[in-house]
Structure 1
Amino acid sequence: MTTVKSHTHGFNGLRRGLLSLALTGSLTLACWSTTTLAQNKDLTIALSTPVTTVDPHFHNLTPNNAMAAHVFETLVKADASLKTYPGLAESWKALSDTEWEFKLRKNVKWHNGEPFTAEDVAATIKRIPNVPNSPASFAVFVRAIKEVKIVDPHTIRFTTATTYPLLPTDMVSVAIVPKTVAETAKTEDFNSGKAMIGTGPFRFQEYVSGDRIILVRNKDYYDAQQSWDKVTFRIITSAPARVAALLSGDVHMIEGVPTADAAKLNKDARVTVSNAVSNRMIYLHLDSNREKNSPFVTTADGKPLEANPLRDARVRRALSKMIDRNAIVSRVMEGQAIAAGQLLDESFFGTSKKLKPDAYDPAGAKKLMAEAGYPNGFGLTLHSPNNRYINDGATAQAVAQFLSRNGIPTKVDTMPSNIFFTRASKQEFSFILAGWGASSGDTSSPLRSLLATYDAKAGMGAANRGRFSSPELDALIAKAVVIIDDKQRDAALALASEKAIELMGLIPLHYEVSTWATRKGISYTGRADQYTLAQDAKLAGK
């Protein structure tokens, strides 16, 4: 079995800002205790970002994937540090360079009482590339599979066109649904609850878009029983409101602890805080596809600009050098981030020790701009979500200020994430701020999804919203992902990462440090994938 190495590391050594902003409003502590919670076994969690759909195959987005993991399961699972372990598959092995065999768990039942079999897995694999209008497809995780063979009800084999050691890791991202659902259900059938039939620890009860999701315990779950009979997820996008809800006892757990309040909550005896360095890179994507008339590129004085300067790697590098990442980490992120120079923090698999964050270098940027033929700069609009990533809107403003200060007058247009992703996926923008969490725990994920040439049929470049394309990089990615030996694959992925950054296919900004807070008496181990999972929230002593 091929195991992809990955690590998380603690919060020690991270630069901490002065976290001195006081909580606003009057917080009244409700009558709430661990004893009461233990008796009720009802858990309420405040999420920071809306779940855009509960169809587990429609939109490859962290909030959606985390929610899906409560109801649906995958053949292979990943723990808090992204180390893989058995899920619906008890074991897996490579029969040859191009064939993998998965042994499935027996006596697993769907929430409707039907037995789970290999037929369900095969139907799921077939559905994923064919989900209509997917803004970020899961096809990248099944594209290597050329043939599916059902050996018996609990044995399935996947044949790949070439050697493909990443297949078990890819299966971490493939939620299995029943055959009947896979063959007939549309995304709206999941959102209505009609198709929400999984094997997971919780059963679906209600989904109100932008407001709440309610789940109840699956009493027939084959694995360890959960602490909770009922879990209510409330969408509270306002960070101060999430903190207020936690301290008042209205909710028992929150994700996305605001950077300004982290230190204060750490000192509050009613609260327990947990951190994890995430697998999420915050980055800038640029329109490197259109030769002319990129929609939000202008002359420096705001007039139409026919040429598209973002196609020039020297311009992209110049923009990178105009940004003071350390200032963003210390001031905007208040110490709860790490400046980025590549696709993942260097502790993860497939990263390069050679790559460091670009230093703030206005003089170097000016020289590159002149070499590229833009000594007087040009104008940009930076589009960004304002409710998806930690301090995303403030980060966009900071980036724009640095660019404007260095000869690239930049406007900012932020919007809710559901609107942002829909428009960005249609290439309506020229310059965007976004984030990517590498579910695989290695650089193969951002390389294939963000930087590979867009190919919907092959499932490559599914989130390449700048439509960056480099045949040379594509060849390095294709070579790296078929190497069986871990050490050699690690080096090959690092080489591809170096080429991606050399070409500035995207501009990395920082890696998020994720923070959760729970009421005292509940424990939660922070996850590198930033998932908030009710099944991982434990009562004291459990």
Structure 2
Amino acid sequence: MGVSAFPLSVDPHFYNGIGDRNLSLHLFSRLVEQKGDMSLAPGLAAEWKLVNDTVWEFTLREGVTWSDGKPLTPEDVVFSLTRSANIPNSPLGYAPFTRDIASVEVAGPRTVRIVTKQPSPILPVNMSALSIVAKHAAEGKDSGEFDNAAVSTGTGPFRLVSFARNDRAVLERNPAFWGEKPEWDRVEMRFIANEGARSAALLAGDVDLIDAPSRNDLPRLRQDERFRVVSTPGNRSIMLLPNVIAEGGSPEATDNDGKPLAQNPLRDLRVRQALSLGIDRKGLAERVLEGTAQAAGQFMWPGAYSFTPDIQTPPFDQARAKALLAEAGFPAGFRLTLSAFADRPDFRTVAQAIAQMWTRMGVRTEVNAVPAAVYLGRGAKHEYLMPFFSWGISTGEAGYVLNNIFTTMDSQTGAGPANWGGYSNPALDALIARAQSTMDDAAREALLVQGQKAVADDVAAIQLYQLVNFWATRRGVAYGARQDQRTVATSAHSVR
């Protein structure tokens, strides 16, 4: 498999990124599994139940063993859920999925009891994100040691043979896997960031499957009977996160002579509105990205829980944008730096297109393309004024976005871990907290809709589009397209 996203670590708790998730889905299991359509299914837990509003019990499957032959125990689960929230130097970890948990305890030979701080209606969904690791193998080990197959022993469909960072992971079938046995004896995940190089590898027969094929190659691949192309609307939202915490004096926002502005212009709602109106989202999705994305004004997609019909895709209106800039005190505009992942050619291309749009309306914009390994760390520290941001909504509901990106950041509690813009709205914080503890689905959805409207009204993010997920395979392989964007060998099958 030629995959676009590089895992930063084999440690499934180190980084909540798609590359790391793709790898961990092969090696580890979770209490609850999430299917490609984002519905839930039993995993290591054969069943779970809500004992009362703040107590959940998970009953483990019988007879599950680790890939080294030792039995799975409730102590492994307690260890994993505790460990996942406390990984040193993680650029974006899994603490948000355990934030509601007050305690985890062994409640029987096959039972784990989770007590939450308040009602937590989506706890089973959160458990579908957290890989369970072997206490006997991982205790006392740091993330770097997971490159060793003995430390990364798991209960997943495959086990690790070798891992070469930024190059490939080699996996083999795990004979001890508790679920349906995978079709493939051996899987090699090659990490190929360049989309053209991924397509070239498939065309040359070097790989059987690629994700995110180059949009320029899609027509050719579709027309060539040697290959198959599959797609489905995805769960990944692409947005800009205007930095509203920086006060001014940044070299990334200057007057037209290049002198840093005394006040950060992005703190003015009218400027954020102008920049949003200055983007032709439909043009980005249909022309720049050639139909591999869908223009959007919100994070959720039609039909999803907490989708908000009242939030429309903002119009492309540069005349109104110029008027708003003038009202905000910038009739002649200003200069702005737009930062983006250097590793994703499509993100760079979109960033360049937005820069041209903004420049035409008077905000002279240059693009700062940064490698992901640097970009992620600096973004989390609010070092960019206008960062390009990608977020996969793995829970399938807006609370995951609101809680992680728009809750006021708090280093003590871990709140707002992906709040790159430094946005803070106490009323929204209270609403999100209320939604997260509301057990009634309809009432919770109403609160999430209200929260999304608050974000949209304040232009706390400039939502751009949602990705359409694509895979291409050689003719003898079929891939089951997944809304969750995961590229996993268990979704690939041989065909005649």
Q: TM-score, normalised by structure 1?
A: 0.89
| Structure 1 position 523 matched with structure 2 position 491 | no
Whether 1:460 and 2:421 are equivalent positions in the alignment is: no
What is the rounded CA distance, in whole Å, between the counterparts of 1:310 and 1:406 in structure 2?
16
Specify which of 227, 235, 240 is matched with residue 183 of structure 2.
227
* 1:423 Cα deviation from its structure 2 partner: 2.2
Whether 1:493 and 2:493 are equivalent positions in the alignment is no
The CA distance in 1 between the partners of 2:9 and 2:386, in whole Å, is 26
- Return the offset for 1:482: 1.4
Give 2:96's aligned residue: 140
For residues 259 and 456 of structure 1, the distance between their equivalents in structure 2, rounded to whole angstroms, comes to 40
* SS of aligned partner of 1:368: helix
SS in structure 2 opposite 1:265? helix
Give the 5 Å matches for 1:46-65: 46-65=2-21
1:511 is aligned to 466
- Post-superposition Cα deviations, 1:295-317, rounded to whole Å, max 9, x if no partner, equal 51211332111211112222111
Question: Contact (CA 8 Å) 1:127, 1:182: kept in 2 or not?
Answer: no
- Give deviations 1:400-423, integer Å, cap 9, x for gaps: 111111111111011322222122
Distance 2:12 2:163 in 1: 14
How far apart are 1:386 and its partner, in Å? 2.7
The worse-fitting range, judged by mean Cα deviation, of 364-373 and 269-278 is 364-373
Cα 1:491–1:182 shift into 2, 3 Å? farther
Distance 2:298 2:159 in 1: 39
Distance 2:405 2:251 in 1: 21
Any residues of structure 2 matched to 1:185-224 within 5 Å, and which?
Answer: 185-224=141-180
| CA apart distance, 1:122 | 0.8
Aligned counterparts of 1:393 and 1:162: Cα–Cα separation in 2:
42
Following the alignment from structure 1 to structure 2, what is the Cα–Cα distance between the partners of residues 451 and 505? 8
SS of structure 2 residue aligned to 1:259: coil
- 1:19 paired residue number: none
Match of 1:426 in 2: 381
Is structure 2 residue 249 aligned with structure 1 residue 293?
yes
Q: Is the contact between residue 384 and residue 415 of structure 1 (CA under 8 Å) also seen in structure 2?
A: yes
What do residues 443-470 of structure 1 show as CA deviations (whole Å, max 9, x unaligned)?
Answer: 1111111111112343321111121111
- TM-score normalised per structure 2: 0.97
Q: Would the aligned equivalents of 2:251 and 2:260 in 1 still touch at CA under 8 Å?
A: no
Matches within 5 A, 1:100-499: 100-388=56-344, 391-499=346-454
1:409 and 1:391 mapped to 2: Cα distance?
21
1:502 paired to 2:484: no
CA shift for structure 1 position 192: 4.2
Question: 1:505 is matched by which residue type in structure 2?
Answer: A
Structure 2: which amino acid aligns with 1:422? G
Q: What whole-Å deviation, never above 9, does each CA across 1:500-520 have from its counterpart, x for those lacking one?
A: 111111111000001001111
Residue 181 of structure 1: CA displacement?
Answer: 4.4
How far apart, CA to CA, are the structure 2 residues paired with 1:416 and 1:206? 25
Partner of 1:91: 47
CA contact (8 A) 1:351 1:497 kept: no
Over residues 301-342 of structure 1, what are the superposed CA-to-partner deviations in whole Å (9 max), with x where a residue is unaligned?
321112111122221111100101111112111012110101
Task: Give SS of 2:271's match.
Answer: helix
* 1:287–1:294 Cα contact (<8 Å) kept: no
Q: Secondary structure of 2:84's match?
A: helix
Q: In the aligned structure 1, how far is the partner of 2:331 from the partner of 2:94?
A: 42
What is the number of residues matched between the two proteins?
A: 496
- Report how far residue 397 of structure 1 moved: 0.4
Corresponding residue number in structure 2 for 1:74: 30
Say which is worse superposed, 272-281 or 147-156, in terms of deviation: 147-156
Which gives a bigger RCO, structure 1 or 2 (Cα 8 Å, sep 6+)? Answer: 1
Per-residue deviation, 1:352: 0.5
Residue aligned with 1:278, SS? strand
1:205 deviation in Å?
1.1
Please give the residue correspondences for 1:531-542 in structure 2 after superposition, counting only pairs within 5 Å: 531-540=486-495
Give the whole-Å Cα distance in 2 for the aligned partners of 1:295 and 1:215. Answer: 46
Q: Give how far 1:49 is off.
A: 2.3
**Structure 1 stretches of at least 4 aligned residues deviating more than 6 Å after TM superposition:** none
